[in-house]
Amino acid sequence: MRKYFYLFVSFIFLYNMNGYTQTPKFMDPSLSIETRVNDLVSRLKLDEKVNQMLNSTPGIPRLGIPPYDWWNECLHGVARTKYHTTSYPQAIGMAATFDVNAMKKMGDFTSDEGRAIHNESLRKKDYSRYTGLTYWTPNINIFRDPRWGRGQETYGEDPFLTSMIGTAFVEGLQGDDPKYLKAAACAKHYAIHSGPEPSRHVFDVNVSSHDLWDTYLPAFRQLVVNAKVTGVMCAYNAYAGQPCCGNDKLMVDILRNKWNFKGYVTSDCGAIDDFYETHKMFPDAESSATDAVLHGTDVECGNSTYKTLIQAVKDGKITEKEIDVSLKRLFTIRFRLGMFDPASMVKYAQIPITNLESKPHTELALKMAKESIVLLRNVPMSGQKNNLLPLSKSIRRIAVLGPNADNANTQLGNYNGEPSVVTTVLQGIKSKLKNTDVFYSKVTDFVSTQPGDFSKLINSLKDADVIIYVGGISPRLEGEEMKVSKPGFSGGDRTSIDLPAVQTDFLKALKATGKPIVFVMMTGSALAIPWEEENIPAIINAWYGGEAAGTAVADVLFGDYSPSGRLPVTFYKRDSDLPPFDDYSMQNRTYRYFKGAPLYPFGFGLSYTKFSYGNLKLSKSAIKKNESINAEVTVTNSGKMKGDEVVQLYLTHLESGKDIPLYSLKGFKRITLAPGVSQKVNFKITPGMMELVNEDGKSVLNSGKIKISIAGSLPSERSEELGAAKPAESILSVE
């Protein structure tokens, strides 16, 4: 706090020493931010202005302005800092919770920790990267193809789910103070960006107007227009012949004009270099920098291309007044963060470093890890009546096997922080079963090109009562532009969605023992496991569950928590189900347009109890196009255990047409029910929710019939085959 005060006093002292008799306007908190920003920018020289448009900005001593680095990360907790921070489940896992309240709280707790680090860093005069308050999160690209390695950073394949989870995060992170931002969120990567990773610097995406407005833009629009996100990051790739960071349609027509975005835009790191180096759109850095700024890219994540703006002004390619537009956006964010006001005026400047990893934060990390776990399969062993899970805590001997059984690195995902304590699955099981003999072996790596001989290990398992195999994949195999080349993986992406063959081979060997087997998967993307679905009695997907993943998995395995996670992506059966990876058309992609039978549908997840849906009532059975209706359904816990249910609302337009989604998620609510208890759940269905996007990209509400389905999963035959409750459905007529 003292650092803020001394900084404020130093500004006043500096100006008094230079002959000023009054505090400069930009240091007067009583004035409007616009007045202060205009005053500050008017005092800057051209070279100072340009240097403030790099992500790592130097200080301006003559004005008392300290250095600042715009680059910071908090995908699922504050990342890449020198301090220990709380690590929540990877973004795809948080989406699987379908819990907007927990997500908003997670954003709030994350900005608490970010503020604590920023405040401590100011006290130490540490202005290095990852100490600032501008976070380049969330990643709201649509996870259109499970082969994309960065899909783990997203909230899944559905525009509505992505919009709602993203909104909750942004609102939590940015805070609710009427004057000051707690932190600044940034929606990325704008837009139409989802791999392949190796070609992202050269790729030129062309999509239909329908797909653009139906799939790729809704979440960005929601965060910009409604959640008031303060930043946007433009993508590496080109769209319709222009790099995204210099794109007429995306940057000017839509973002600034249609959506009236007033915040700042940063390039992805090195994306302006790509204008001339890989996209070959311009002859040199100077022309590229000019084009990016004129299209509204205010910050270059880089350290060279924007420096040529000084010469560009001298050459008449851009005016200093045009550069001022970007400068004012940037300083507006910093003023809104309270960086030029005394700490006593900014309540967030009081958050101490002791806030890191506080008890409420670590408790929420565990809660979200448990809520993210998806029970995919749970059937009895041959000759038994009860499903295999939950397991008894009185088991005498248990074998915990697999490359993720004791792997803290996998659990933390990517773009992660480093918590002081990470509980692995092995540790979680040992903590829960104090009197059980627990045998552990890693068995194999994730991927192997050599046929495995598991006979010796299998022989050592003869006394085990239950076998828990913790496999899947790893963020060291899938992620951002990685130098990985192994069977099934290339450059950070996946070349096959199959579970690596060595793991299936080992599971086959385990099945031959006749012992009960639980398969715990960790993954950031959908895996094809058709053999496992047919042959392994219990399968759970634990994603990359963060610091508390091991405790959460143990709680689920042994019945201290009934699983309630839902899939935010479709799990396909095989590679041949997928269109070419570099085809951005949404035809036959995701639950909304996939015409085949999935292995596990979007929204699917089993429980240890049973829920039923009935008595669906619509406030009207026929409406005019400008009317809203209410839908009410009764959800009952007809099982024997308390549990959470994710109640999901889907609309299906019964008219025909190639661009009409098969289903569209339009609402969801997470509820908790004790055994035998019923609850009425209400949804308001507005005209906007019933609109379709036509081939011209326009949202229209046509006359016709709409099927309204409310269920605990995608309302499909496949969901019911897998054990999901039968949906409650009704038909609405739109006149």
List, edge to edge, every strand of the sheet that includes 517-522. 374-378, 538-541, 517-522, 466-472, 397-401, 437-441
Beta bridge partners of 691: none
| 478 classed as catalytic | yes
Instruction: State the alpha helices, DSSP H only, in 482-639.
Output: 501-511, 530-535, 549-557, 590-593
CB hemisphere CA count around 248 (13 angstroms): 3
Q: Please, are residues 735 and 625 in contact by the beta-carbon 8 Å criterion?
A: yes
Displacement of CA 716 from its chain's centroid (Å): 26
> If we measure between CA atoms, which residue out of 251, 265, 263 comes closest to residue 217?
251
Q: What is the pLDDT of residue 616?
A: 98
Give 611-734's CATH code, choosing from 3.30.450.20, 2.60.40.10, 2.40.280.10, 3.20.20.140. 2.60.40.10
Question: What is the rounded distance in angstroms from the CA atom of residue 380 to the CA atom of residue 385?
Answer: 6
List, edge to edge, every strand of the sheet that includes 611-618. 611-618, 629-637, 678-685
Q: Please, are residues 230 and 174 in contact by the beta-carbon 8 Å criterion?
A: yes
Residue 582: phi and psi, rounded to 5, are -85, 10
Q: Please, are residues 174 and 111 in contact by the beta-carbon 8 Å criterion?
A: yes
Strands 728-734 and 704-711: antiparallel
Q: If DSSP codes are grouped into helix, strand and coil, which group holds residue 268?
A: coil
| 268 classed as catalytic | yes
Mean pLDDT for each 10-residue chunk of the chain (735 residues)? 43 45 88 98 98 98 97 98 98 98 98 98 97 98 98 98 98 97 98 97 96 98 98 98 98 98 98 98 98 98 96 98 98 98 96 98 98 98 95 97 98 98 98 96 89 87 97 98 95 98 96 97 98 98 98 98 98 98 97 97 98 98 97 97 98 89 98 98 98 95 96 98 98 96
Q: Please, are residues 636 and 725 in contact by the beta-carbon 8 Å criterion?
A: no
Q: Please, are residues 726 and 720 in contact by the beta-carbon 8 Å criterion?
A: yes
Boundaries of every domain in the chain:
49-350, 373-569, 611-734
Write the CB contacts of 173 (distance below 8 Å, at least 6 apart in sequence). Answer: 74, 107, 108, 110, 111, 135, 137, 182, 183, 185
Q: Phi/psi zone of residue 19: left (φ > 0), alpha (ψ -120 to 50 degrees), beta?
A: left
Q: Please, are residues 582 and 196 in contact by the beta-carbon 8 Å criterion?
A: yes
Question: What is the rounded distance in angstroms from the CA atom of residue 88 to the CA atom of residue 364?
Answer: 8
Q: Please, are residues 8 and 24 in contact by the beta-carbon 8 Å criterion?
A: no
Question: What is the rounded distance in angstroms from the CA atom of residue 425 to the CA atom of residue 540?
Answer: 13
Our CA angle for 660, 661, 665, nearest 5°, is 140
Residue from 153, 268, 341, 418 carrying the catalytic annotation: 268
Q: What is the pLDDT of residue 448?
A: 86
Token digits for 479?
A: 């992620």
Instruction: State the alpha helices, DSSP H only, in 240-385.
Output: 271-277, 285-294, 309-314, 320-336, 359-372
Residue from 112, 120, 371, 478 carrying the catalytic annotation: 478
Cis peptide preceding 67, ω within 30 of 0: no
CATH architecture, domain defined by 373-569: 3-Layer(aba) Sandwich (3.40)
How far is the CA of 595 from the CAs of 356, 621, 662, 663, 707, in angstroms? Answer: 47, 29, 8, 11, 18
**What residue has token string 């959470």?**
644
Q: What is the pLDDT of residue 10?
A: 47
CATH architecture, domain defined by 49-350: Alpha-Beta Barrel (3.20)
How far is the CA of 255 from the CAs of 76, 191, 224, 457, 549, in angstroms? Answer: 26, 11, 8, 58, 38
> If we measure between CA atoms, which residue out of 542, 583, 319 comes closest to residue 412?
542
Chain length of the chain: 735
